[in-house]
């Protein structure tokens, strides 16, 4: 048995499907099945129940525990010797929400590769909850996200504070208030969002930061059943829907100013949602017996990029 077999088994256990695991590993399903059968023969135990969805046997659960441990130690060993030899190479797997990633990652990766040209950065997009799970499973090395206070086995480093705003296209704003746009503007600036009861919204998903904050703001204004014309996990899409007059959206101000052109910014109203809606973006990475210097370097580069903006 070798490290490749352990990796194949770990991916199969995560995907619970020979088809999906083979696609992720870039091997044929027949080859993956042969590897697993070889492990079962060597161990003298059945590791998986071949049904849909695939299940692990008791022996399979035990094997997964050992394989995961061996893989972590193997990865730590490889990365420590990369640092010792100063011959950095490999893959750094980074996760971020789509629009936040577009704002931060291109310049960060360019800066990072000035120091680590032989390390490839593999990007994963997804909402916060999905990124948390990928970190816990070990399928990414670093995530840029909003994290709960206590996420087991994950180390956190502060990145930046994200202020949120309500974005409304000006023409939609002017036509949607029977008591007058000027009066509504005064109410919104004073933090009274009850005026939005009959207003259309485009909202993020319930697992997204902006989606959660938007629903909390409306709930506090006693708007339990808002008019939702569209939903998306992608903040960039929500902003474009809002620009088209489909509805108001809640979005981090930093992302709004990064994504929209000056002309587009002139076409919308932005209302601050207050300090209580701010969230703290952090770097999350699994606690390891050895921390690869490339992770610390990537964090340093990302902080440098954001400070320049």
Which CATH number goes with the domain that contains 199? 3.40.190.10
Percent of the chain at pLDDT above 90?
48
- 69 and 213 together in one domain: no
> Worst-scoring range by mean pLDDT, 74-78, 122-126, 229-233?
74-78
Q: What is the mean pLDDT of residues 159-175?
A: 88
Q: Which residue has the tokens 């990007």?
A: 123
Distance CA 250, CA 253 (A): 9
Boundary-marking domain end, from 87, 104, 128: 87
Q: Per-residue confidence at 224, pLDDT binned at 50, 70, 90?
A: confident
User: Domain check: are 206 and 260 in the same one?
Assistant: yes
Give the DSSP H/E element, type plus range, for residue 70: helix 58-85
Could you tell me if 139 and 221 lie in one domain? no
DSSP letter string over 191-234? T-GGGGTT-EEEE--TTSHHHHHHHHHHHHTT-SS-EEEEE-S-
Which H or E run includes 115? Answer: helix 98-115
Interval 108-131 mean pLDDT: 91
Average pLDDT over residues 98-117: 92
Q: What is the pLDDT of residue 258?
A: 87
Residue 108 and residue 4 share a domain: no
Q: Same domain for 187 and 231?
A: yes
Residue after which a domain boundary falls, among 87, 112, 142: 87
* Residue 292 pLDDT grade (very low, low, confident, very high; cuts 50, 70, 90): confident
pLDDT for residue 289: 76
Could you tell me the CATH number of the domain that includes residue 59?
1.10.10.10
Specify the number of domains making up the chain: 3
Residues 270 and 291 in one domain: no
Q: Provide the domain limits for residue 57.
A: 1-87
The reply to whether 271 and 185 lie within a common domain is: yes
Q: What pLDDT is recorded for position 177? A: 58
Looking at the structure, do residues 149 and 294 belong to the same domain, yes or no?
A: yes
Number of H helices, E strands in the chain: 13, 12
Residue 90 CB contacts under 8 Å (≥ 6 apart), including other chains:
78, 79, 82, 118, 119, 120, 294
Asked if the model's pLDDT at residue 178 lies above 60, the reply is: no
Considering the domain architecture, whether residues 260 and 217 belong to the same structural domain is answered as yes
**Residue located via tokens 């035990």:** 62
Per-residue pLDDT tens over the stretch 232-262 = 988 889 999 999 999 999 999 999 998 899 9
Q: How confident is the model at residue 176 (pLDDT cuts 50, 70, 90)?
A: low
Domain boundary among 37, 52, 87: 87
Q: Dig out the tokens for 164 from the structure.
A: 């949120």
Asked if 72 and 113 sit in the same domain, the reply is: no
Instruction: Count CA atoms within 13 Å of residue 80 on its CB side.
Output: 10
- Are 181 and 227 contained in the same domain? yes
Mean of all residue pLDDT scores within the chain: 88
pLDDT value of residue 275: 86
pLDDT band at 183 (very low <50, low <70, confident <90, very high): confident
171 and 145 in a common domain: no
Local confidence band at 123 (pLDDT 50, 70, 90 cut-offs): very high
């Amino acid at each position: 048995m070798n490290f490749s077999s352990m990796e194949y088994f770990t991916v199969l256990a995560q995907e619970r499907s020979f088809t999906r695991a083979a696609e992720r590993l870039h091997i044929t399903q027949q080859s993956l099945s042969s590897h697993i059968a070889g492990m079962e023969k060597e161990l003298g135990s059945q590791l998986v129940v071949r049904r849909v969805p695939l299940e692990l046997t008791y022996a399979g659960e035990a094997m997964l525990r050992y394989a995961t441990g061996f893989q972590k130690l193997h990865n730590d060993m490889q990365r420590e010797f990369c640092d010792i030899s100063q011959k950095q190479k490999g893959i750094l797997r980074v996760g971020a929400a789509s629009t936040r990633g577009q704002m931060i990652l291109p310049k960060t990766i360019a800066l990072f590769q000035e120091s680590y040209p032989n390390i490839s950065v593999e990007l994963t997009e997804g909402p916060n909850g999905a990124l948390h799970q990928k970190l816990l499973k070990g399928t990414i090395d670093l995530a840029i996200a909003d994290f709960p206070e206590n996420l087991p086995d994950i180390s956190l480093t502060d990145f930046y504070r994200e202020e949120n705003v309500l974005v409304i296209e000006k023409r939609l704003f002017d036509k949607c208030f029977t008591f007058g746009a000027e009066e509504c503007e005064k109410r919104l600036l004073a933090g009274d969002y009850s005026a939005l009861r009959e207003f259309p919204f485009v909202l993020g998903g319930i697992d997204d930061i902006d989606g959660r904050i938007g629903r909390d703001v409306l709930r506090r204004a006693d708007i339990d059943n808002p008019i939702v014309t569209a939903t998306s996990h992608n903040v960039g899409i929500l902003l474009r829907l809002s620009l088209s007059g489909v509805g108001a959206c809640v979005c981090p101000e930093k992302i709004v100013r990064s994504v929209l052109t000056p002309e587009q910014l002139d076409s919308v109203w932005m209302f601050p949602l207050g300090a209580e809606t701010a969230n703290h973006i952090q770097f999350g990475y699994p606690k390891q017996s050895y921390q690869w210097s490339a992770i610390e370097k990537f964090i340093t580069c990302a902080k440098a990029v954001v400070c320049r903006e």
